[in-house]
Amino acid sequence: MLEYIKNVWLGFWTVIVGMKITFTHLFEKKVTVQYPDDRYPIPPNARNKLHLEPTLCNGCTSCARICPVNCIKVETLRVVPDDPEQPMIADGTKRKLWVPVYDIDFAKCCFCGLCTTVCPTFAIKHTVEFEYSTYSRDDLYVRFSDMSPEKVAEKKKMLEEFQAKEKAAKAEAARKAAEEKSKAEAQAKAESSPVTESKESN
């Protein structure tokens, strides 16, 4: 019986206590942030949308290799030594590779931040921008390369010519080397032929 009275009293009293707490909260300062008008401060190191500085990227593809979800696609072209532009990377070193394709698929990106830490030139960085939702998933596929298609074609042609030239030079060199080699071999053969013959006869 005593237990019963105690329980009923507790049931009543704890409700009153609860109501007192909620009542005091009625007048407390509200924590809502009126989002598009007021904004929650985002720290500068926040990992949101990625941004690539094409003038800084040297095309080393480290970022594409470290990305756990393979959402970076990098394609490179070699810079020919006699390129009339003599391109430079924005940090002052000589550019060795063109980056005609640098795509990030933000639909896949998981914002892990690994790509930004491996980049030797700090070309790829997280920004604080997070409002980039789109109606189509294709719009999340962002192409960062600053090279126009014409330029890419030009550089490709240049590289091809250069490669052809190189190939020719190489072939020439190889031919020469082969000639030399065969000559040397023939000589060697001539010198060693008695031995082999004797071996064969055995």
Residues lying near another protein in the complex (CB under 8 A) are found at 7-8, 10-15, 17-19, 21-23, 25-32, 34, 42-43, 45-47, 66-68, 110-114, 117, 126
Whether residue 64 contacts residue 71, with contact meaning beta carbons closer than 8 Å, is answered with: no
Q: Token pair for residue 140?
A: 């999340």
74 binds, among ligand SF4, another protein, none (CB under 5 to 8 A by kind): ligand SF4
Query: Judged by CB under 6 A, which stretch of 6-14, 57-65, 151-159, 169-177 contacts ligand SF4?
Result: 57-65
Q: Cα(199)–Cα(139) distance, rounded to whole angstroms?
A: 74
Q: Please state the closest distance from residue 147 (CB atom) to ligand SF4, in A.
A: 13
Q: Is 129 in the site for ligand SF4 (CB under 6 A)?
A: no
Q: Is 59 in the site for ligand SF4 (CB under 6 A)?
A: yes
Q: Please state the closest distance from residue 42 (CB atom) to another protein, in A.
A: 8
User: Of the candidates 42, 112, 164, 173, which one interacts with ligand SF4 according to CB under 6 A?
Assistant: 112
15 binds, among another protein, ligand SF4, none (CB under 5 to 8 A by kind): another protein
Q: How many residues line the site for ligand SF4 (CB under 6 A)?
A: 29
Q: Token pair for residue 107?
A: 């639909």
Q: Residue 53: CA atoms inside 13 Å, Cβ hemisphere, count? A: 15
Q: Is 67 in the site for ligand SF4 (CB under 6 A)?
A: yes
| List of residues contacting ligand SF4 (CB under 6 A) | 50, 52, 57-63, 66-67, 69, 71-72, 74, 104, 109-115, 118-121, 123-124
